[in-house]
Structure 1
């Protein structure tokens, strides 16, 4: 397999991964004047970028690894259809990752992760609208906000330290009474006695269509997207070679590894041992008229959200730490949909399409962004968990800075791929 000539020569940069992070990085680098090509095992928007909830969750600064999740985990883990589960067949394999996750839940570690996450969120929010204008996709942005709901005073009070952390970082929100919630979102079950609305929560009309639009823009500007699976990387003094499954090779001066949940397998070929795991996410997308949804609703105690997309009503979320090989368990989708019917009594549950995708997750809830240990010619950009769409524009800015010799707009120490 060969790249065709772009402008006056082959690609300067090869990006591995045609999800939202990889394509955003490719477009940001392309805008700096470099010749870029993208390689993906399935093609654009084939993975988690197609089926996420569509939110730019810039206010979601608290890491998944936290003391709160540790308190809930024992109860959740006992429920095979609950918000957080580990299939028995995968429990032994994931034990080392879970130990790192447990360590990342200490108060000091959470404080450090929150500061780092906030910095990346702030950068990503600042970069988003300029990036949308650059790519001609600004018409897909929505500003409908997010309503977090609680069943009872105890659950609401347990959330308050998290809201205080958001206050400390200048994030706007409003606690709501049942009457205010009903005015904002009619049809919500009376079991939810408290709510918090975050107006600065943006979303995209449809994450798959957005990612495909990025791919179209990239191609229109001379970029190439090749469908091939990368087996390994072979760094040299002046370039990096990608060895593809089947034996073909591609070479470029620099490489960006943004292959989502498959990234650690490729990184292993250059000696990196990065503890990447897979948050297997499930959802059901119902027809657009299934419910009159006015804002995204987060059912935090149950680990899922309901989002209004241009293509339908999406019910999904939760975390199944089950790796890349186990068969999907669509009973998880069905369980969330059944709960959604109870929480929104007017919801029509028929005509939906189920989906499962792999969200790449590191144990401290921060992505790996920065040069590989073996060579600065390889830049890692993966491990965003359920925040890939949210942090895509900020990550793209950082990657473009690194590839063009600019000082990154953010201290990358907390995101170092070698921090483990």
Structure 2
């Protein structure tokens, strides 16, 4: 099973994990007051960036994950630094297209019928998040987070020596007709208010940006500030190596329970041992809400199950990330292959993958890029932890100021990871926050 399964699945251990098991000893009262020992649950990109920021500040950091560093959901995403993607999902025309999409079991959005009753409360919240009265607040919150994310990522890439992995080729969003293009204009106008640059293209301008497109695409929007990375898994492991150089440790373990009392927060591992720390950061992706519930916080997290196929680099000469918004997927040229993926399956964390969805995306890619070689692909499915208002949870648990939540970034985990790391460090050190944290509060639900 893929995803940040910190709270279920078989536990593993390594020599490195055993060596670091004493790193989070039961601290003295003085140490608890200073909060120098930090436990991070989750070795995905959010946990990795949090570890880097905290280790840079001289804190004693240990990351716990059941499989390894950047081995699950963060390893297979679309590799985008989507800093211009400020529109919450409920405002992207998804509500309007929902009936059409749900009618197609292999379309951009699907819900297994058996899962619908469990999902219904989340869908109601999602529908309410699309109300006009909530639009401005969500948009402003995301725009502020994205501005911080871009600044923090660029600085972190420089500090960690990973900037050569950055690609600044922009993105190209494609439309099959005038109606689809016109429907996108309100969203571009909203982005323009926040200083996001773009230009609409057609004809030769479109062909120059991406030769070989199907003639069904009549217009596009080029976003020059959109960035991608050479490979998200390689980037995550490189940032972790930097965190390690600053003293961060890793322990391969599954976390069964979390508790907090007057003596501070405590983790219980699958092997029955426990760890106590000055602060615990919950960044376990799609499993995070299960741990939060143990502390009394009921956070409506659902799982966008995303699918992709990574083809050999020779499959097609894709110049930059191509976004097929009407079909809910993207094509990204990576150092390690050509990744075709996206779409959303709201089906929880227990159901087996339905790789017919990745095959359907690949069939569409062949139609949209005539000449694409679909052979030799590697299929993948990952869990995107999503909240109904598309805004992540970054804040303290209701019952313990020593437990910090950092999850629910949906399909923007890679994009917002460095900003989240910065905010977590500010929480731990008691510093003034870089953004207004009210929209990200765990208690907003």
State the match for 1:286 in structure 2.
311
State the match for 2:172 in structure 1.
147
Aligned partner (choices 46, 49, 52) of residue 24 of structure 1: 49
State the match for 1:89 in structure 2.
114
- Check if 1:268 corresponds to 2:293: yes
* Paired residues for 1:205-220 under 5 Å: 205-220=230-245
Structure 2 CA distance for aligned equivalents of residues 67 and 299 of structure 1:
13
Aligned partner (choices 10, 21, 26) of residue 3 of structure 1: 21
- Whether contact under 8 Å (1:372, 1:378) holds in the other structure is yes
> SS where residue 186 of structure 1 aligns?
coil
- Check if 1:380 corresponds to 2:405: yes
Q: Which moved more, 1:312-321 or 1:125-134?
A: 125-134
Structure 2 CA distance for aligned equivalents of residues 358 and 181 of structure 1:
33
- Whether contact under 8 Å (2:332, 2:340) holds in the other structure is yes
Tell me the alpha carbon deviations over residues 263-282 of structure 1, each in whole angstroms, 9 at most, x when there is no partner.
00111111110000000000
Give the count of matched residue pairs: 419
Q: Return the offset for 1:176.
A: 0.1
Q: Return the offset for 1:128.
A: 1.0
Aligned partner (choices 61, 79, 82) of residue 36 of structure 1: 61
Gaps of 5+ in 2: 1-17
State the match for 2:146 in structure 1.
121
Q: Which moved more, 1:221-230 or 1:22-31?
A: 221-230
Gaps of 5+ in 1: none
Structure 2 CA distance for aligned equivalents of residues 55 and 69 of structure 1:
21
Query: RMSD of the TM alignment (CA)?
Result: 1.5
- Check if 1:318 corresponds to 2:343: yes
State the match for 2:221 in structure 1.
196
TM normalised by structure 2 equals 0.92
Q: Return the offset for 1:5.
A: 4.6
Structure 1 CA distance for aligned equivalents of residues 22 and 113 of structure 2:
47
Tell me the alpha carbon deviations over residues 213-242 of structure 1, each in whole angstroms, 9 at most, x when there is no partner.
122222233221111111121113242110
> SS where residue 336 of structure 1 aligns?
helix
Tell me the alpha carbon deviations over residues 41-99 of structure 1, each in whole angstroms, 9 at most, x when there is no partner.
21111222101000000000000012721110010011110001111121111111011
* Paired residues for 1:59-138 under 5 Å: 59-66=84-91, 68-138=93-163
Structure 2 CA distance for aligned equivalents of residues 308 and 156 of structure 1:
24
Structure 1 CA distance for aligned equivalents of residues 58 and 210 of structure 2:
46
Structure 2 CA distance for aligned equivalents of residues 67 and 335 of structure 1:
22
- Whether contact under 8 Å (1:178, 1:195) holds in the other structure is no
Structure 1 CA distance for aligned equivalents of residues 425 and 366 of structure 2:
44
- Check if 1:46 corresponds to 2:64: no
- Check if 1:417 corresponds to 2:442: yes
TM normalised by structure 1 equals 0.97
> SS where residue 146 of structure 2 aligns?
helix
Structure 2 CA distance for aligned equivalents of residues 67 and 17 of structure 1:
30
Shift >3 Å, 4+ stretches: none
- Whether contact under 8 Å (1:67, 1:106) holds in the other structure is no
